[in-house]
Amino acid sequence: MGNKDAFINELKEFNVHHDHRLRVMENAVKGLLPEEEACVKLFDCPIHKWMAERKPLLNKLYGSENIRVLEARHAEWHEQSDKICGILSSKNENKGGLLGKVFGKKQEMNEGELDKAMSYVADLKELTNTIDSTFGRMIKRANAIQNDMFEKNE
């Protein structure tokens, strides 16, 4: 029974993971957080690592096609995130010489950069909702599955 409970807890944790990451990205675009805190590459993402580790069980419980779709949405989320990170890093590279770097003079985004970043954030919101609803369905399904389905895969 512990395996099922542990798996459901993992699903619940990841159900809100990218919602939190989205808020971090929004705050970085607004200049409230540094780029380093916002930008996470796909292969460094805990969900990516977890899905690779749990792939046999995920495929058995949800079907390989459903998991491929989730992986694709997740990769797309990070592609959009990388676009925002590109804008943020180019803004930080233009700090203006040694004094700008020493004193951390903050370079504001111009209106075009901000519009582009906010467009990417809007795309991230849609992808986040898709990923979150997928995890929500996965939690419901896991709750309905018999415990022994989890025991055999561990």
Give residue 108's pLDDT: 67
At 52-68, the pLDDT tens digits run 999 999 999 999 999 99
Give residue 35's pLDDT: 80
In terms of Cα–Cα distance, which of 85, 72, 103, 71 is closest to 40?
A: 85
Half-sphere exposure of 76 (CA within 13 A, CB side): 15
Give residue 97's pLDDT: 47
**Residue 92 corresponds to which tokens in the numbers above?**
């930080």
Q: Return per-residue pLDDT of the chain as tens, 154 residues.
A: 469 999 999 999 988 888 899 999 999 988 888 888 889 999 999 999 999 999 999 999 999 999 999 999 999 999 999 999 999 888 655 554 444 444 444 556 778 888 999 999 999 999 999 999 999 999 999 999 998 888 754 4
Written as one letter, the residue type at 33 is: L
Give dist(CA 24, CA 13) in Å, integer. 17
Give dist(CA 143, CA 4) in Å, integer. 8
Give dist(CA 138, CA 154) in Å, integer. 18
Residues 6+ apart with CB under 8 A from 149: 4, 60, 61
Half-sphere exposure of 38 (CA within 13 A, CB side): 25
Give residue 80's pLDDT: 94
The model's pTM is 0.83
Give residue 152's pLDDT: 58
Distance in Å from the first CA to the final CA of the chain: 12
Give residue 34's pLDDT: 84
Give dist(CA 154, CA 152) in Å, integer. 6
> Phi first, then psi: what are they for 31, rounded to 5°?
85, 15
Give residue 107's pLDDT: 57
Residue identified by tokens 């925002």 is 84
